C-alpha cells in the first residue's frame, strides 16, 4: 500500500471520506488524467469494501470530479468536458 492508500481505521473520518480525498488528490495531481481504475480494483488497492468505493465515488460525482458511464467506466470529468479544437475551414 502507498501512503495515500492507507486508510486509518481509528480516524474520526469515515473510510469512504478518506478514499474520496485520496482519489481527489490523485486527480488534482494528474495521477488520474482520463480514466479511473474499476471500483473493484480501487477497493483492493485501498483495502476497503466495494461499497466503500461506491460511497466515495458518489462524493466525487457530487464534487463534479468524475463522471461514471454505465458499461464504460469512470472518468475524470475535466478530461471529458474539455472543449475540442474546431477544425479550420480550408
The CA-atom distances, in angstroms, between 67 and each of 10, 55, 84, 86 are: 31, 14, 18, 24
pLDDT (tens digit per residue) in 49-79: 999 999 999 999 999 999 999 999 999 999 9
CB of 54 within 8 A of CB of 23? no
| pLDDT average, residue stretch 17-37 | 96
CATH class of the domain comprising 3-81: mainly alpha
pTM of the model: 0.84
Cell numbers at 59, concatenated = 462524493
Read off the DSSP letter of residue 63. T
Amino acid at each position: 500500500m502507498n501512503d495515500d492508500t492507507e486508510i486509518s481505521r481509528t480516524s474520526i473520518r469515515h473510510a469512504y471520506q478518506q478514499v474520496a480525498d485520496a482519489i481527489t488528490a490523485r486527480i488534482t495531481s494528474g495521477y488520474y488524467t482520463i480514466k479511473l481504475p474499476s471500483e473493484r480494483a480501487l477497493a483492493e488497492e485501498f483495502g476497503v469494501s466495494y461499497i466503500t468505493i461506491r460511497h466515495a465515488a458518489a462524493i466525487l460525482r457530487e464534487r463534479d470530479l468524475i463522471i461514471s458511464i454505465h458499461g464504460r467506466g469512470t472518468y475524470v470529468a475535466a478530461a471529458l468536458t474539455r472543449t475540442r479544437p474546431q477544425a479550420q475551414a480550408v
